[in-house]
Structure formats: structure tokens, C-alpha cells
């Protein structure tokens, strides 16, 4: 070994020997234990994320009427449903769901429906939509909002708020350009239902209905008021309730209505 190297090892600043010893210890440790492996995460494996309700699902479609919304869980929720409680399915899955036996207990009381929820077809896939959070209901002021029926065929109960001028787009998004239903009779909204712009979206708010007088005129027999007397001074508000012929309900039809007052009949 060259003399200068020996001098450098034995003298100098004194760091050489400790460093050499440390390297030997490290070498022996690694030789005994093997090379270190990358640290493994102890976090549990995560399940694949469930698609958002408003994202396209697996059901293929060609038009909005190919899709329907159903409850997401095994049984429907016993409260007013939200977008997270439903999903969009195609006709085949809907038929299987309806044909399958159900062990779900009935809700008591029966929950209020959410007319803002509907299914449509986007980019060839069925998707569930909440109108109250959709662009069709976006607003800045109350004057931009209107109340309309929640179904392109005017056959479903309830009312929804939508941006003024967007009604046709709303109905087209539900039924496409050529609805396959037989449209029901469409009506104007009751006077006590108002469209308000709340948190940037149109919504329906109900004010106390006016007190109506007894001025009535006979109409078709399949239109009943809650007390069973036909009357034009009312508004056909909730279709498809039960109407059983009786002395108190003299309407022979199974199609009946609860009535909100028409302001023309109110003092």
C-alpha cells in the first residue's frame, strides 16, 4: 500500500476508521437480512367506487322512454327519495325487478314522492336526473321560474319548478321528440303554488290555499272532490287516487282527484 495512503488512514482527521467500521457493520446487516423491501401500505384495500346516480349506468338506450328510475337498495326508502336513493335502468331490468317477489315491508305512512326525479337517455346510457339540481332549473331570480307538471304526458302527480322557457326541453329530455304515451289533460298550476329561485335553482313553494266558496257547477262524473261532489270550482291536482262509488263518493270511475281551489271560485 502506498505510504501516503497509510498515513491518511492512520492519521488525518480521524474520520476514516469510524466510517470504515460503519460500512462493515452495514454490510454485515444487509447480508444477514437481505435487501430492504419497499414499505407496504397497511391501509385496507378499497372497493371500486360506486358510480354517482347522475352518471350514465350500464343500461343501454336509444331514447328517454327506454329508461326508468327504481330504488337503489333492496327496498325503497320510507321518506321522500333523493337522487342517491334511485338509479336508472333499462326496460329489461325494470321487467325483472317488477317480476321478482318482494319482502319489503310497507312504509307507514307512505312517503311523499319526489317529482323532480326522472330517468333519461344520455350518450346511449340510462341516467337518473334530479331536476332541482339540473341546468333546466338554474336561476338567479324568482321571475325566471315557473311551475309545471312533472311529466311530459301530464299524467303524474305533483308539480316541479323549471326555468321559464325550458319547459319543452324538460319534457323532451324525458320523452324524446315523439312521446309514446297518450297525453293527459294539461292544466295550469294552482294559484297557491309558486315558483321560487332557491340556492340557484327553481323550486315549488306552497302558500296557504285560498278559502273557496260553494259556487259549483256539475262536470264529468269521473272528477271528484274530496267530499265526493263534482265541481268545476276546483283544480285536478293529484290524479290516480282511489275513488270508490258510494253515497259520499258518487263517482263511478276509478280515476279520481284531490282538489286545490281555483281562485275563480274564491271570494
User: What pLDDT, in 10s, does the model give residues 162-195?
Assistant: 999 999 899 899 888 877 776 677 767 777 789 9
For 4, the 3-state DSSP assignment is helix
The set of residues, in sequence order, having a beta carbon less than 8 Å from that of 8 and lying 6+ positions away, is 16
Burial-class residue 7 by CB neighbours within 10 Å (0-12, 13-18, 19+): exposed
Q: Nearest-CA neighbor of 162 among 119, 106, 207, 201?
A: 201
Rounded distance, CA 226 to CA 247, Å? 13
Query: What are the start-end ranges of the E strands in the chain?
Result: 67-71, 86-90, 117-122, 125-130, 145-148, 160-163, 193-198, 201-206, 234-241, 256-261
pTM (whole model) above 0.85: no
Task: Answer yes or no: are the C-beta atoms of 136 and 163 closer than 8 Å.
Answer: yes
Per residue in 134-162, pLDDT tens?
999 999 999 999 999 887 777 777 889 99
Give pLDDT, residue 253: 38
Lowest mean pLDDT segment, chosen from 76-80, 102-106, 169-173, 204-208: 204-208
Cα dihedral: 243, 217, 227, 222 (round 10): 0
Higher pLDDT, 157 or 131: 131
Check whether 91 has a pLDDT greater than 70: yes
Rounded distance, CA 20 to CA 148, Å? 86
For 47, the 3-state DSSP assignment is coil
Give 179-185 contacts, CB < 8 A, sequence gap 24+: 179/65, 179/152, 179/153, 180/65, 181/152, 181/153, 181/155, 182/153, 183/152, 183/153, 183/154, 183/155, 184/153, 184/154, 184/155, 184/239, 185/154, 185/236
Higher pLDDT, 250 or 122: 122
Q: Nearest-CA neighbor of 114 among 61, 71, 166?
A: 71
For 177, the 3-state DSSP assignment is coil
pLDDT band per the 50, 70, 90 thresholds, residue 209: low
Phi, psi of 9, deg, nearest 5: -75, -40
Check whether 256 has a pLDDT greater than 70: no
Give percent above pLDDT 70 in the chain.
Answer: 54
Q: Which residues pair with 259 in a beta bridge?
A: 236
Check whether 221 has a pLDDT greater than 80: no
Burial-class residue 216 by CB neighbours within 10 Å (0-12, 13-18, 19+): middle
- 10 Å Cβ neighbour count for 209? 16
Give pLDDT, residue 57: 57
Amino acid at each position: 500500500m502506498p505510504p501516503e495512503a497509510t498515513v491518511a488512514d492512520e492519521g488525518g482527521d480521524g474520520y476514516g476508521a469510524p466510517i470504515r467500521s460503519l460500512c462493515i457493520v452495514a454490510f454485515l446487516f444487509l447480508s444477514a437480512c437481505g435487501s430492504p423491501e419497499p414499505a407496504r401500505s397497511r391501509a385496507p384495500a378499497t372497493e371500486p367506487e360506486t358510480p354517482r346516480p347522475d352518471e350514465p349506468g350500464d343500461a343501454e338506450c336509444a331514447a328517454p322512454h327506454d329508461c326508468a328510475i327504481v330504488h337503489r337498495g333492496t327496498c325503497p326508502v320510507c321518506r321522500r327519495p333523493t337522487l342517491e336513493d334511485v338509479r336508472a335502468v333499462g326496460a329489461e331490468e325494470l321487467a325483472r325487478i317488477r317480476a321478482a317477489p318482494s319482502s319489503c315491508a310497507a312504509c307507514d305512512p307512505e312517503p311523499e314522492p319526489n317529482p323532480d326525479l326522472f330517468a333519461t337517455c344520455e350518450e346511449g346510457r340510462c341516467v337518473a336526473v334530479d331536476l332541482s339540481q339540473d341546468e333546466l332549473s338554474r336561476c338567479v331570480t324568482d321571475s325566471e321560474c315557473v311551475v309545471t307538471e312533472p311529466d311530459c304526458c301530464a299524467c303524474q302527480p305533483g308539480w316541479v319548478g323549471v326555468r321559464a322557457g325550458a319547459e319543452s326541453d324538460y319534457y323532451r329530455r324525458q320523452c324524446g321528440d315523439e312521446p309514446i304515451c297518450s297525453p293527459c289533460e294539461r292544466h295550469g298550476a294552482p294559484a297557491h303554488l309558486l315558483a321560487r329561485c332557491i340556492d340557484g335553482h327553481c323550486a315549488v313553494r306552497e302558500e296557504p290555499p285560498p278559502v273557496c266558496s260553494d259556487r259549483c257547477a256539475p262536470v264529468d262524473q269521473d272528477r271528484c272532490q274530496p267530499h265526493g261532489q263534482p265541481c268545476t270550482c276546483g283544480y285536478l291536482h293529484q290524479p290516480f287516487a282511489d275513488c270508490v262509488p258510494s253515497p259520499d263518493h258518487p263517482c263511478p270511475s276509478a280515476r279520481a282527484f284531490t282538489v286545490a281551489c281555483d281562485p275563480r271560485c274564491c271570494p
